[in-house]
Copies of this chain bind each other. A is one copy, B any other.
Amino acid sequence: MSGGARLRAGVVGAGFIGAVHARSARLAGARLVAVAASTPESSRAAAGRLGAERACKSGEELVAADDVDVVHVCAPNHLHLPLARAALEAGKHVICEKPLALDDDGAAELVAAASAGGLQAAVPFVYRYYPMVREARERLRGGRSGPLRLLHGTYLQDWLSLPADANWRVERRLGGASRAFADIGSHWCDLAEFASGHRIVRLSARTATVVPERSASGTAAFARRDDDGPRQPVDTEDVALVQFETDGGALGSVVVSQVSPGRKNRLWIEWDAADAALAFDQEQPELLWCGRRDGVALALRDDAALSAPAARFATLPAGHPQGYGDCFDAFVADVYAAIADGEAADGLPRFADGRRAVQITEAVLGSAAADGAWTAVPAPALAEARP
């Protein structure tokens, strides 16, 4: 049992991802003491559904509650900053969904507040918790693959491919100025940097809104609607193309789309180093494709064959598929262990990583607004730099 056995968790936001947080919190040994959704009524329903001990009338109430040690912020994007700020001010540890804030000022404030308060503050870049991602990281950062020259890939979804598809994320007011990139492109960039140790320092981007009007009433993420009701203009991007340079001298490219039919959650990334190329497909996460000049190996999620940092997350024997839920569980367990121990395990994504995603997103939007002009991405502060 993890060190978080007696930790008291509260979850704000009870959509798909809130339920995922609640499950992982319970599995990590925490008590799920409180849940808050958008209204007192929905909070009560959510408490029952997620198995929480009680419902709070509002997120504000929850983040201030005396009996909560750690707050999971799973509300819509525009509420991340105020809720996380209030939670930190109340001395709570925080796990906050990305984007950490709708602009870099907000994200910087949260990083500073967490640091000042000596609180654990994490962002669920959970794809880092696939064992084969850790294996890629060991092979790339440990020098076994030679210098990285090129990294490229896609993050494609289709749940917003139709005009009838609507969601609060589509609205800039609620979701932020960037949608496709901030929501999923940020995951891709986090993985790209996390595994390689390289940092994106300069980028050129194009964005497009290919579904110009959508249903006016939003629905839950990944849900579908058939209605023919009123439509409203869309002010966030469906597609983003980004090229970039890294501080290590590599070039990169990523295609981000939420309108690619048949692609459900196709985060695919390839790192081409001098001696080996590695490719990871989030939809087949038990494999790592390893190309060399003289052949291809498929590294399996088999603890006997993995490096130690990857084997740490191999909780089932090879061939018994681990999935997204296992990543989330491992992430939350690591956060809770950090709360208990005061020390974060290697690779834990923290608010500094969440801020970095905001900065890259701002650079993407800035470049796109300037016809793809190459645009600098701020370097992470030393204190925030990944070791």
Please list the residues of chain A having a beta carbon within 8 angstroms of any beta carbon in chain B: 1, 5, 16, 20, 23, 26-27, 29, 48-51, 149-150, 152, 154, 156-159, 161-162, 204, 206, 208, 210, 221-222, 224, 238-239, 241, 243, 251-253, 255, 257, 259-266, 270, 272-277, 282-286, 289-300, 302, 304-305, 315-326, 371-372, 374
Q: Ordered nearest first, which 8 A-B pairs have the shortest CB separation?
A: A262-B291, A265-B319, A264-B319, A1-B51, A323-B323, A321-B323, A222-B317, A264-B318
CB atoms of B152 and A255 under 8 A apart: yes
B157 and A154 form a contact (CB under 8 A): no
Q: Which residues of B contact A296 (CB under 8 A)?
A: 262, 297-298, 300
Nearest-CB distance from A323 to chain B (Å)? 4
Of B48, B239, B286, B300, which one neighbours A295 at CB under 8 angstroms? B300
Q: Please, could you name 13 A-B residue pairs with CB atoms under 8 Å apart, sorted by A? A: A149-B238, A204-B206, A253-B255, A259-B274, A260-B270, A261-B273, A261-B277, A263-B277, A264-B302, A297-B297, A315-B325, A320-B324, A321-B323
Selected contact of A275 from candidates B157, B238, B261, B291, CB within 8 Å: B261
Residue of B nearest to A304 (CB): B224
- In the complex, what's the smallest C-beta–C-beta distance from A1 to chain B, in angstroms? 3
Give chain B residues whose Cβ lies under 8 Å from the Cβ of A298: 295-298
User: A276 and B293: CB pair below 8 A?
Assistant: no
> Do residues B262 and A293 form an inter-chain contact, with CB atoms below 8 A?
yes
Contacts of A291 in B (CB 8 A): 158, 260-263
Task: Collect the chain B residues with CB atoms within 8 Å of residue A324's CB.
Answer: 316, 320-322
The one of B27, B210, B294, B320 in contact with A23, judged by C-beta atoms closer than 8 angstroms, is: B27
Closest to A329 in B: B325
Which residues from chain B contact A284 at a C-beta distance below 8 Å? 284, 321
Q: In the complex, what's the smallest C-beta–C-beta distance from A55 to chain B, in angstroms?
A: 13
Which residues from chain B contact A265 at a C-beta distance below 8 Å?
A: 317-320
Cβ-defined partner of A292 (8 Å) among B257, B261, B277, B320: B261
| Nearest B-chain residue to A162, judged by Cβ | B293
Cβ–Cβ contact B290 & A277, under 8 A = no
Across the interface, A325 reaches (CB within 8 A) one of B26, B50, B323, namely B323
Q: Which residues of B contact A326 (CB under 8 A)?
A: 323, 325
A295:B241 contact, CB within 8 angstroms: no
Interface pair B241/A262, CB less than 8 Å apart = no
Q: Which residues of B contact A241 (CB under 8 A)?
A: 152, 243, 251-253
Task: Output the least CB separation between A19 and chain B (Å).
Answer: 9
Cα distance A142–B52 in the bound complex, in angstroms: 39
